[in-house]
Amino acid sequence: MNRERVIFLDIDGTLVGFDGKIPASTIEALKKARKAGHHLVICSGRSRFQVDPALLSRGFDGVVGAAGAFVDLEGREVYHAYVTEEKRRELAEFMDVHQVTYSMQASDGMRMNQRSADLLLQRYRGYHLSEDRIQRLIGRIQIVPDTWNSPYIEKAIYYDSPFTVQEMQDRLAPYFDVIGSSFEKPDPYCGEIGIAGITKATGMQHYLEAADIEKERSIAFGDGPNDIEMLQYAQIGVAMGNAQDTVKKVADYVTSRIDEDGIARAFEHFGLI
């Protein structure tokens, strides 16, 4: 490639392993890509408060977060979408009635009731994650009875639903879209709930427009269900070797696993470094 590119990178399973570590080869590849003049943009399901400052310090130009619900360009917010009060309340009532473990993901923290907070922490500890890793994953938890009562809610995550992802979609449409979890191994009873029509591709479009950069200069890397639209939107979509099969099917190229130098190898393959 003989032009500067905008490189959109998912975090979990792409930049950062599920052990919470960034492979040394990835760190070096990011450094070289930055030196070559390419733009580096995080493109994650995480909200702003969940993005580790140490990761941002590696030379990223911007963030597409909350699966496309907000966009930062060089520290300046250029787009933000929030769930309406009516739909926040309806969603919380649905989750509570059906005893679903859930968290409302707001720009300033995660809003959970005590029941869901206890079950989520128990779930994460069952993965034998360190307490530090758990805290980085869940960010700031606000334990409140009225989980819906914040104007800054962007999306929700859920676990242990009595319904499959498709059944959740059927019940929560048309305002919400439901997809499988990008953090967990494939599980039909866990997922993410966002505003219908808002995906990582939405955030990418807002970023490129604000930066005045052509879509044709974009390349995206991901591994989970919420990366599908991102890979389809980018000029080149790259799936990690550890990506789910549904993600690999829409990619233009499949690199090796995150723990097998997948980012570095793909950067080299496409002449980014």
Q: State phi, psi for 186 to the nearest 5 degrees.
A: -50, 125
Give the residue extent of every domain in the chain.
6-80+199-269, 85-195
- Give me the chain's average pLDDT, please: 93
Q: What fold characterizes domain 6-80+199-269?
A: Rossmann fold (3.40.50)
Per-residue pLDDT reduced to its tens digit, 98-152 = 999 999 999 989 999 999 998 988 887 777 767 776 766 666 789 999 999 999 9
Average pLDDT over residues 1-20: 88
Q: Which of 15-29, 177-191, 242-256 has the lowest mean pLDDT?
A: 177-191
Average pLDDT over residues 37-54: 93
| b/e map 100-124, b = 16+ CB within 10 Å | bbbbbbbbebbbbbeebbebbeeeb
Per-residue pLDDT reduced to its tens digit, 158-171 = 999 999 999 999 99
Residues 6+ apart with CB under 8 A from 202: 68, 229
Per-residue pLDDT reduced to its tens digit, 141-153 = 899 999 999 999 9
Q: Is the dihedral of CA 92, 192, 234, 220 positive or negative?
A: positive
Distance CA(120)–CA(151), nearest Å, equals 23
High-pLDDT (> 70) share of the chain, %: 95
First to last CA, the chain: 9
pTM: 0.91
Q: Kindly tell me if the per-residue pLDDT of 9 is higher than 70.
A: yes
- pLDDT band at residue 184, thresholds of 50, 70 and 90? low
Q: Kindly tell me if the per-residue pLDDT of 213 is higher than 60.
A: yes
Q: Exposed, middle or buried: residue 156 (CB in 10 Å: 0-12, 13-18, 19+)?
A: buried
Average pLDDT over residues 238-260: 97
CATH class assigned to 85-195: alpha beta
User: In terms of DSSP bridges, do strands 236-239 and 253-254 run parallel, antiparallel, or are they unpaired?
Assistant: parallel
pLDDT computed for residue 120 by the predictor: 84
pLDDT computed for residue 16 by the predictor: 94
pLDDT computed for residue 137 by the predictor: 63
Q: State phi, psi for 209 to the nearest 5 degrees.
A: -65, -45
